[in-house]
Amino acid sequence: MAGPGPGPGPGPAGRAPRRAPPSLSLRARRRAAANQQARGGAGGSRRAAGAAMEDVCAKFVSQKISKTRWRPLPAAALQPPDLFATGSWDNEDNRVSIWSVGELGNVGLGGEYQGEPQLLCDIRHNGDVMDMQFLDQERIVVASSTGTVTVFRHHQNNQTLSANQRWEKAHYHVDQNTSCGGAACTGVICNNPEIVTVGEDGRINLFRADQKDAVRTIDNADSSTLHAVTFLRTTEILTVNSIGQLKIWDLRQQRNEPSQILSLTGDRVPLHCVDRHPNQQHIVATGGQDGMLSIWDIRQGTMPVSLLNAHEAEMWEVHFHPSNPDHLFTCSEDGSLWHWDTSTDISEKPSFLHQGGRSTTYFSHSTINQSVVSAWLSNDPTKDRMEITNLIPNQTLSVNSLDILGPCLVYGTDAEAIYVNRQLFA
Amino acid sequence: METGRPPALPPSPPPLLPPPALPAGYEVRRGSPGAPRPRRWALPESRRSQTPRGSHGAPAAHPRSASGKPAEPATAGSGAEPGLPRPRPSGRPRRPSSRPGGAFGARRRFRGERPAPAPNRRRPAARPSFTPAGVSAPAEQRRGEGPEGGGAAGRGGRRRGQRRQRRGQPRRGLPARRQAGGREGSAAAAAAMEELDVEPQLMVVPGADPSARQLCFAWGPAEVLVCETLFGRRGSGEGGPSSSRVFVVRRDQDIYIQTLRKLFNESHGIFVGLQRSEEELAGKSRKAQLVQVSKNYRSVIRACMEDMHQAAISTRDPALHSQYSTQVSILSAMELIWNLCEILFVEAAAAGPLLLRLLDWVRLHVCDVDNMVREVLSSENPSKHELFWNVVDVFVLQGRMDEARHLLSKEASANPASVNMYKILDDLMKKMPMPSLGNTQTLTEMELKWQHWHEECQRYLQDGTFASNSHMESICKILLGDEDAILEKKELMTTWYHFLVTRLLYSHPTVKPMELRFYAQSSMDLFLGGESSPEPLDTILMAAFEFEMHQVIKECSIALSNWWFVAHLTDLLDHCKLLQSHNLYFGSNMREFLLLEYASGLFSHHSLWQLGVDYFDHCPEYGRVYLELHIERIPLNTEQKALKVLRICEQRQMHEQVRSICKIMAMKALRNNRLGSALSWSIRAKDAAFATLISDRFLKDYCERGCFSDLDLIDNLGPSMLLSDRLTFLGKYREFHRLYGEKRFSEAAKLLLMLMTAHIAPCSFWMTLLTDALPLLEQKEVSMLVTGDKAPHPISFLPDKVCGSGDPLSAPRLGLALSVQKNCGSSRIAQQSKCPIGGSTQDPE
C-alpha cells in the first residue's frame, strides 16, 4: 500500500472542530504526488492509468459511468467477488450493465487476473443513474434522475436484466402550475427488504421491495437537496444535504423531524457522500464539495471529530472497507482515488512523526485506551498512523464512483472507463 | 460560396432541383418546432437522416453566432440577395470522381434512417417559434452552402474577404479537390491551406421543401437549426400552411459512433499528458518522449480498430456491418498515415535507420499477405504448398531475411540435388548488409559493404548459378534491386509504398529523408502504371514522403470524416516544433484552429462535452472564449451535472458563467417551490438581488402562514447571511424568534431594536415588527431598555412610508407607534392595536 516515497505518512488533521492545518494537507498531497511519480514511471504502455499499476485493468465502455457496485457475496463465500454492476449518466440512452471479472479462466501464470471485465448483460435505463445498490444477490435498486426508483433483477441463468419493480416519480416537484415534475433521486440505500431513497426534492421515501406503495414518506425532510443516505441501525438513517448538515432520522417515530442534526461549522459546504463504519455504528465519514473528508462521532457533539483536507474538488463517494474498516476509500471530481490506511502499526513509524506544539493541546483528551477506540477517532496526532495513497496517477476526469469488496476495487470515471483492481492489498 | 453573387442577375424563379444523390455527411435530426426554447440547448429528440457534409477546413459555426435565445431567423445582416439558388451544372460530380471505396472512399455513407424514437416533447404545431418576421433573404440562397458557408453569411463572415477575392475569378470547371500547384514549398502549401478548393456542398434537408417555402436557420455550436418559414418563394406572399418541423443539422457525425468514443476518451488522456509534459527535457529524451506519445496514440487507434472489428464481426445487421467495416478501414488508414508521420516527422529518422523504420511500417500495415503466409506455414509440408514461393517472395520483399532463409532451408533439404544453389542464395541473404540502429557503423562503411555484396550478387546472376530455378533467379534479381523483377511481384506487394520500400531496400538502403520524394513519386508512377489515378490515401502518403506537413494535414482534413485525427496529429507535430506558426487568416494558428474544431464537435455531443474542456484549455488564443460560449449551453438536467459544470467554470475563474449557472439552478428551484435550494444556489452565486427576492418570499410565507419554513437552512445561514440586507434581516428576524421562544426576552428585545434601527426591514414588514415589540414591552427588563436614555425612540426610526397617510392601516399604526413612544406597555393597548392586523401577524407567545 505504502508507496515507495521516503517521507513519513501524512498526519491526520488535528482534532476537530478546526480544519486540518494547511501544512498537513500539503503533505498529504505531496505524498500522493510522490506515489504518482513512482508509479507513473512504470507507465508508458497503452492503458495510461492501468499500466502504472499492473494489477489494474481498464476497460473503455463508451458511456460515462456514474456508479459501480460489486454484487454482494453470499454469507459463507470465501472467493473474491466476480460480478459488478455499473450505471451510466448523461447519455442519450443510459444503461445499467452487469460485468463479470475473472470467471472466464483468464487467470495468468502468477495467478493474477489478466483479462478485462466482460459485459454480461445490460438494460436501458430512463434518465441518469444517480445511485445504485444491490438489494440482494439478484436485485439491484437504481435511482434515476427522473425521480423513478427501479428494482432490476439479474437472471443469472440466461444473463438478462429485467425491471422487477418500479416506483414512478418517487421523487417529484410540485411546481407553481401544480403539475408534478420528477425530481432527481440522488441516493438510495438498502437493508433488505427495506429501501430508503432521498432526492433533490428534499423528500425521504421508505419502500419495501415487495410493496407497491411507499411505506413511509417524509415530505420536506430537508429544505435543500439531500445528496446521500445511509443506515445507521435498522431503524435509523442518516442523510447529508447540500448545506453541510447530517440529519439522523428515527423511522420508528411518526414525527417528521430529524432526531438529531449535526453540521459543519458555519461554512455550509455541501456534503455529497456518507458512509458508516461497518462495525462501530457511531463512526460516520462524509465527503464534501471542497473535497474534505470529515469523520463524525454521532454519539457526541454536533461537529465532526476530524476534518481531513483531501481532494481538490467534490468528493463523490466515500467507503469504509466492509471487512477491514481501518481502510477507507474516497474518490473525487478531480480525478483521484485515495486509499486511507490507518492500520499501520505505530511501532514501525519513525519518531519524527511528532508534530510539535499544535498537538499538545489535545494530549489531555487522549486518555481512552487506544486499542478500543477506533483509529478513525484517534485524537492523538503523535500516534499518527494514517497512510494515504493516490491510486490513480495522471487521471484527468472525475472518478464518480467506487466500490470495494474483499481485495477488489472497482471504479468508474467520466472518461468512460471502468477499472478493476483485484489485488488491492497485494 | 455564392453569397457574393453580383446582384445584376435577374431574380428568376428557382429551378427545382432534383435532390441529388445524397453524399454522405451531415446528419439531420428532425423535430417539431418547439415552444420557446430553453436557454440552454437541448437537442430535440427525434428522427435523423442525412445530408452531405460540408467542405473541409472552413471555419465552423462560431459559437458566437448562436444566440442561445429562442431561435431567430438568421438572416439579419446576411446581405444576401433574394433567392437565387445556384443551379448546379448538371452532371457535375459532387465530389471528385476519384473517390472509390477502400479506405476513404466509402467513409461517409448515408446512414440509414434509424427508427425514430418518438419525439417525446412534441408540442402543438400551432406555436411556431420561428417567426418569419423580418426574413428578407430566402434561406434557399444558402441552402447549398453547408453550415460553413451559411455561417459566413449569417454573421458577416470571417471569410468574406476571401470570397470577395475570389469573386472575380472564373469558376474552375471542376471541383478539383486538389490544388495542383500547392506543393512547391511549405509557403505555397500554406497558401493552399487557405484556398478553398472544394465546392460548397449542396445540403438537402430531407423533408424540408425549399422550393415551396423559404428556409431560415439559426446557428448553434457545431449544429444548425433549419426550419421552414411562412414565406413563399418570392418573399412576398404566404406559402401555404407552414410545416411544423425543425431540423437539426449536425456537422460531425463520427462523434456519434459508439466505438469511436473509446478513441476520443482514451486519446484525451494522452493529449492532456502531452500538454503537461515538460518542455525542458533535453533534445534526445524529449524526442523519445514524443515518439512514445505518438506510439500511444497509435495503439489507441489500434485498440479502437480491434473493437470496431469485433463489432463488425459480431453484428448481424448488414448495414451495421458495412458501417463498422468502413470504420475499420478508416482507422487502419489513420494509423498507417500516423505511423509514417511518426517515422518521418516526429522521430525524423536519419539515413540508415530510416529504412529500417520504413520496413517495420510496411510489415505492420501490409497484412493482406499474412493469411497466405499463415496458410503455407501451417500446412504440413510447406515446401510442397503451391504458394510456397510466394511466401518466400513476400519475406524477401519485406526484408524478412531470416524467415525467408528458414523456409528455403526446408526446401533445400527436400532437394538434395540443388543444395549447392540453395546454399549460395542462403549465403547471399545472410550476408546482406543492413543499416544498424545504433552508431556502430558509419554510412560510408555501410555503403561500402553494400557495394561489395551487390557485386557478389551480380556475379552469381551473371554466371547463371540460379538459371535452373526461375524462382531463385527472380529472388536474386530482387536482391539486386531489379525494378522489373520487383514489379513482377506486384500482387504480393499490393501497394505502391510497399514497392517503394522494397525498392529502397535493395537499391538505396542508405536513402536520405530528403531523397525520399523522388523515389516515392517514381515508385507510385511505376506501380500504378497510369492504370489508376491516386486515391486520397496515396496523395496523403505522397505528401508525407515529400515532407509537406501542411499538405498532409490538409489532405487528411479533406479525406477523413472527423477532426480527431488532424487535431491530434497537428498538436503532436506542433509539440515537435515542426509547424511554422504562421497565422491563418481566421484567428489563430492551425493547431489551435483544428483543436477548436474538434473540441466544438465534442461539445455538441450530449455526453462528450467534458472532454472538450481540456482541449479548449490548451488553445491559448480563443480557447477561453469558446469554452465560455459552449459551457453556458450545456443542458443542466440534474444538480449533479450542474455541479460538474460549475466546477469547470470555477476552476477557470469564469465568474460570469458561474453566476449564470447558479441563477439558472436557483430559478429552477424557485419554480419548483424549493425555496431552500433556490437560496442555496443564489448564495453560491453571490447573487444579492436574487437572495433578496427569495428572502421576500420567505417573509411573505411567514406573514401568510405564521411560521417559517426551511428552518434548517435559515438557522444556519452563517456569514452568507450578509449577502443581501433582506437576507440578513430574514436571518436575524428568525434569530429573534428563536430567542423569544427560548424566553431570552432581553436579548430578543435588543435584537428587535437593532432590526428596527438598522433600516433593513422591508416596509411591509414594519407592522409585524412593531406588534412583535408589544409583548416585549410588558417585560420589565425590556421596558427599562427601551426607555433608557440612550435608547432612541422607536418612533423616530419609522420610515415615512409607514406613517404616511393613505394607508388604511396608518391610524392604528400611528396609535401603536405612539403607545410605544409613551412606553405605556399595557396589554390593553397592545390588544387593541393588534386587532386590525392580527390576521397577518403571529403572536410570538
Give the pLDDT confidence score for residue B614 in this predicted structure: 93
A163-172, B116-125, B525-534: range with highest mean pLDDT: A163-172
| Of A184, A242, A394, Cβ closest to residue B680 | A242
d(CA B717, CA B694): 14
Query: Where does the pLDDT of residue A196 fall: very low under 50, low under 70, confident under 90, or very high at 90 and above?
Result: very high
Q: pLDDT at residue B65 above 70? A: no
Kindly report the nearest CA distance between residue B288 and chain A, in angstroms.
12
Q: Is A225's CB within 8 Å of B677's CB?
A: yes
Cell numbers representing residue B306 in the block: 480491434
A54-58, A76-80, A335-339: range with highest mean pLDDT: A335-339
Give the pLDDT confidence score for residue A6 in this predicted structure: 35
Q: How many CB atoms lie within 10 A of CB B63?
A: 23
Cell numbers representing residue B353 in the block: 535507420
Cell numbers representing residue B694 in the block: 427569495
- Measure CA B617 to chain center: 13
Return the minimum-mean-pLDDT range out of A95-104, A149-158, B314-323, B334-343.
Answer: A95-104
- Measure CA B616 to chain center: 10
Q: What are the extents of the domains in chain A?
A: 44-421
Name every chain A residue with its beta carbon within 8 A of the beta carbon of B300.
Answer: 46
Strand-pair partners of A134 = A140
Return the minimum-mean-pLDDT range out of A263-267, A335-339, A395-399, B96-100.
Answer: B96-100
Query: Where does the pLDDT of residue A153 fall: very low under 50, low under 70, confident under 90, or very high at 90 and above?
Result: very high
Q: pLDDT at residue A245 above 80? A: yes
Q: Is A90's CB within 8 Å of B300's CB?
A: no
Cell numbers representing residue B478 in the block: 530482387
Q: DSSP H helical segments within B315-341, as ranges?
A: 318-341
d(CA A284, CA B658): 32
Helix%, strand%, coil% for chain B, nearest 5: 55, 5, 40
Give the pLDDT confidence score for residue B78 in this predicted structure: 35
Return the minimum-mean-pLDDT range out of A238-242, B375-379, B499-503, B795-799.
Answer: B795-799
Name every chain B residue with its beta carbon within 8 A of the beta carbon of A183.
Answer: 672
User: Degrees (nearest 5) of the Cα angle B219, B222, B224?
Assistant: 35
pLDDT digits 0-9 by tens, B553-590: 989 988 887 889 999 999 999 988 887 766 666 667 88
B439-444 LR contacts (CB < 8 Å, sep 24+): B443/B351, B443/B352, B443/B510
Give the pLDDT confidence score for residue A54 in this predicted structure: 55
Name every chain B residue with its beta carbon within 8 A of the beta carbon of A244.
Answer: 716
Q: pLDDT at residue B833 above 60? A: no
Question: What whole-number percentage of chain B has pLDDT above 70?
Answer: 64
Give the pLDDT confidence score for residue A379 in this predicted structure: 58
| Of B266, B644, B680, Cβ closest to residue A243 | B680
Q: Is A128's CB within 8 Å of B637's CB?
A: yes
| DSSP one-letter string for A204-257 | EEEEETT-SS-SEEETTS-SS-EEEEEEEETTEEEEEETTSEEEEEETTS-SSS
Q: Is B607's CB within 8 Å of A63's CB?
A: yes
Cell numbers representing residue A389 in the block: 495513497
d(CA B312, CA B305): 10
Give helix B419-431 / helix B443-462 axis angle, nearest 10°. Answer: 160
Q: pLDDT at residue B2 above 50? A: no
Q: pLDDT at residue B141 above 50? A: no
Count Cα neighbours of B482 within 13 Å in the Cβ-side half-sphere.
15
Q: Which amino acid is at A221?
A: A
CB B593 within 8 A of CB B586: yes
| DSSP one-letter string for B801-831 | HHH-TT-TTHHHHHHHHHHHHHT---HHHHH
Cis peptide before A17 (omega within 30 of 0): yes
CB A394 within 8 A of CB A43: yes
Contacts of B530 (CB under 8 A, 6+ apart): none
CA distances, B46 to each of A90, A132, B115, B427 (Å): 17, 29, 10, 70
For B458-572, where are the E strands, in sequence order?
none
Contacts of B80 (CB under 8 A, 6+ apart): B3, B137, B141, B142, B153
d(CA B32, CA B223): 16
pLDDT digits 0-9 by tens, A77-114: 778 888 999 999 998 889 999 999 865 444 444 444 45
Nearest CA to B415 among B464, B472, B377?
Answer: B472
- Judged by DSSP in three states, A411 sits in strand
Cell numbers representing residue B470 in the block: 526461375
Which residue is it, cell 495468468? A108
Size of interface A-B (CB pairs under 8 A): 149
Q: Dihedrals φ, ψ of A51, to 5°?
A: -65, -30
- First CA to last CA distance, chain A: 8
A403-407, B193-197, B380-384, B841-845: range with highest mean pLDDT: A403-407
Q: Is A92's CB within 8 Å of B709's CB?
A: no
d(CA B613, CA B627): 7
Which residue is it, cell 490513480? A392
Give the pLDDT confidence score for residue B58 in this predicted structure: 33
Q: Which residue of A has its CA nearest to B303?
A: A46
d(CA B733, CA B755): 8
d(CA B72, CA B216): 8
CB B682 within 8 A of CB B717: no
Name every chain A residue with its beta carbon within 8 A of the beta carbon of B641.
Answer: 89-90, 128
pLDDT digits 0-9 by tens, B377-436: 888 887 778 888 888 899 999 988 888 898 888 888 877 778 888 888 888 898 888 887
Q: pLDDT at residue B147 above 80? A: no
- First CA to last CA distance, chain B: 79
Helix-then-strand count for chain B, H and E = 38, 5
Name every chain B residue with its beta carbon within 8 A of the beta carbon of A260.
Answer: none
Do the strands A293-297 and A204-208 form a parallel or antiparallel pair, or are they unpaired?
A: unpaired
Name every chain B residue with its beta carbon within 8 A of the beta carbon of A414.
Answer: 610, 644
Kindly report the nearest CA distance between residue B717 and chain A, in angstroms.
8
Mean pLDDT confidence for B5-28: 34
ipTM > 0.90 (yes/no) = no
pTM: predicted TM-score of the whole model, two decimal places: 0.74
d(CA B287, CA B285): 5
State chain B's mean pLDDT as an integer. 70
| Of B45, B261, B647, Cβ closest to residue A333 | B647
Nearest CA to B63 among B834, B628, B748?
Answer: B628
Question: How would CATH label the architecture of A44-421?
Answer: 7 Propeller (2.130)
Q: Is A396's CB within 8 Å of B674's CB?
A: no
Q: Is B720's CB within 8 Å of A243's CB?
A: no
CB B395 within 8 A of CB B409: no
Q: Is A415's CB within 8 Å of B296's CB?
A: no
d(CA A322, CA A328): 9
Question: What whole-number percentage of chain B has pLDDT above 90?
Answer: 20
Mean pLDDT confidence for A128-134: 95
CB B216 within 8 A of CB B227: yes
Give the pLDDT confidence score for residue B72 in this predicted structure: 35
d(CA B98, CA A334): 49
- Judged by DSSP in three states, A352 sits in helix
d(CA B760, CA B177): 72
Cell numbers representing residue B663 in the block: 441563477
d(CA B834, CA B505): 107
Q: Is B45's CB within 8 Å of A202's CB?
A: no
Give the pLDDT confidence score for residue B228 in this predicted structure: 76
Q: Which residue of B has its CA nearest to A89?
A: B607
d(CA B768, CA B774): 10
Q: Is A90's CB within 8 Å of B607's CB?
A: yes
